[in-house]
């Protein structure tokens, strides 16, 4: 049997295995996570442990008292991947991985006016290029406090997924319709950052809703928990919903789980500006520090503009987005700081343009586009397809070895996003300069199981 035949056979086995598992599913139950509780107890009574009435997978274990609730919710995603970078699908590789292993902690207090949220990801497979005295922990993903004075205004303080990335990052990893996020998100979304945020919810009249988001953060990602190495990041997002809100939080997951009876749409624009960028896109702050001839820190500015949408109707959904990034470099940079803190002065023979190009070559600069769509059948099977493309600037960090991707996914929801099985086929195309006579991209298939307790 040839290696190509082996790979095709292995993919077939994965598909058959999926079918077999799905066949054992009985009546499927749609997942409805409800973090709002009402209490009949007096303030002196406390229930040490109480499961929600009508418990569903994903609700977690909740401690309830007259003052509020405290919820623990673990989740796990296991992944099996087969891929080949050769045109004839020879020499396949296989990978077993824990994609996510999370513990979510959430609490609502004082009639839902105050809440706290924290999340640990024990898989923590993010490989940081930061070493030496700029290292940081990647297990902690979120830790923030939220204050809601009323239904219109919300203020958030701490570490969390930011409002000013693409719409994909508004969706939890366990709830995205594909196994992985798109090339666009990988290239430009910093996701986690530490700061102060505001979100509003304004009804313009009738069914029209306007949701503004403001963000003031470090721009250094999770490394900001150690130190803010650069300047600050300022961001704004404006979302418009012309047909009222989505059913049961449908704005924050992909497949149309509740089969919207009327069309629902959200369109948004987003802009952020980091006045002192120290990493490629804001996930690894402190990686690159520059200085003038007197060793005073000088840093480039980094700006990002994006537009995106999400549409749902009667089991169908479509989502897409566009991102453009730019940077500006100070004219008097004379060197950079090594990871051990010492200063490396550039050779006097280097021109200002060469120094500028060096700085720009360490930032993710360019533009990208992603569009995807899917349909959820009444029997809780879903299918979806996605197309993503990236276009690097001439002088930029090499963030898009693969500049185009095609992805197809099928999902069986056994209990909404709390229990599902996904099978994905995809092809990521190498950019033209990296193609060879035997390799033009990466062909892959992967199978993922998700459970949230």
Examine the pLDDT at 156 and tell me if it is beyond 70. Answer: yes
Instruction: For residue 352, give the H/E element and its range.
Output: helix 352-360
pLDDT of residue 43: 40
pTM greater than 0.95 (yes/no): no
The model's pLDDT over 78-119, given as tens digits with 9 standing for 90+, comes to: 999 999 988 888 888 898 988 899 999 999 988 889 999 999
Structure tokens at 321: 């987005």
The model's pLDDT over 382-438, given as tens digits with 9 standing for 90+, comes to: 999 999 999 988 888 778 889 999 999 999 999 989 999 999 999 999 988 888 888
CA angle (379 as vertex; 387, 444 as ends), nearest 5: 35
Examine the pLDDT at 31 and tell me if it is beyond 60. Answer: no
Percentage of the chain surpassing pLDDT 70?
85
Q: Mean pLDDT across the stretch 228-244?
A: 92
Contacts of 357 (CB under 8 A, 6+ apart): 395
Task: Let me know how long the chain is.
Answer: 453
In the CATH scheme, what is the homologous superfamily, with its name and number, of domain 3-452? Porin (2.40.160.10)
DSSP per residue over 59-116, as a string?
--EEEEETTEEEEEEEEEEEEEEEEE-STT--S-EEEEEEEEEEEEEEEEETTTTEEE
């Amino acid at each position: 049997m040839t290696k190509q035949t082996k790979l095709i056979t292995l993919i077939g086995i994965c598909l058959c295995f999926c079918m077999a598992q799905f066949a054992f599913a009985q009546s499927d139950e749609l997942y409805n996570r409800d973090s709002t509780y009402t209490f009949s107890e007096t303030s002196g009574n406390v229930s040490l442990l109480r499961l929600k009435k009508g418990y569903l997978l994903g609700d977690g274990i909740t401690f309830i008292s007259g003052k509020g609730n405290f919820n623990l919710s673990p989740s796990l995603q296991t992944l099996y991947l087969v891929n080949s970078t050769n045109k004839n699908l020879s020499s396949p590789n296989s990978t077993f991985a824990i994609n996510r292993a999370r513990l979510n902690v959430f609490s609502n207090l004082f009639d839902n006016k105050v809440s706290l949220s924290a999340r640990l990801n024990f898989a923590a497979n993010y490989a940081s290029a930061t070493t030496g005295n700029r290292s940081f922990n990647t297990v902690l993903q979120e830790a923030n406090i939220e204050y809601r004075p009323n239904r219109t205004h919300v203020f958030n303080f701490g570490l969390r997924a930011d409002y000013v990335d693409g719409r994909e990052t508004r969706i939890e990893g366990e709830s995205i319709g594909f196994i992985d996020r798109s090339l666009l998100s990988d290239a430009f979304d910093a996701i986690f950052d530490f700061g102060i945020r505001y979100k509003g919810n304004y009804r313009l009249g009738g069914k029209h809703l306007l949701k503004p988001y403001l963000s003031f953060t470090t721009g250094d990602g999770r490394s900001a928990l150690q130190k803010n190495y650069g300047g600050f990041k300022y961001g704004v997002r404006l979302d418009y919903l012309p047909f009222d809100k989505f059913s049961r939080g449908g704005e924050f997951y992909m497949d149309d789980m509740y089969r919207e009876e009327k069309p629902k749409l959200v369109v948004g624009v987003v802009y952020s500006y980091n006045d002192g960028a120290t990493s490629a896109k804001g996930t690894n702050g402190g990686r690159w520090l520059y200085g003038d001839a007197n060793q005073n820190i000088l840093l480039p500015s980094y700006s990002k503009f994006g537009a995106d949408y999400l549409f749902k109707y009667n089991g169908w959904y479509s989502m897409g987005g566009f991102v453009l990034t730019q940077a500006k470099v100070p004219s008097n940079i004379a060197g950079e700081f090594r990871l051990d803190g010492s200063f490396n002065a550039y050779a006097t023979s280097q021109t200002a343009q060469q120094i500028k190009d060096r700085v720009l070559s360490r930032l993710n600069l360019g533009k990208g586009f992603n569009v995807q769509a899917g349909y959820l059948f009444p029997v809780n099977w879903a299918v979806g397809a996605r197309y993503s493309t990236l276009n690097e600037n001439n002088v930029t960090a090499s963030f898009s070895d693969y500049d185009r991707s095609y992805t197809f996914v099928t999902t069986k929801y056994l209990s909404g996003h709390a229990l599902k099985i996904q099978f994905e086929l995809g092809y990521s195309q190498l950019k033209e300069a990296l193609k060879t006579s035997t390799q033009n991209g990466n062909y892959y298939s992967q199978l993922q199981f998700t459970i949230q307790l």
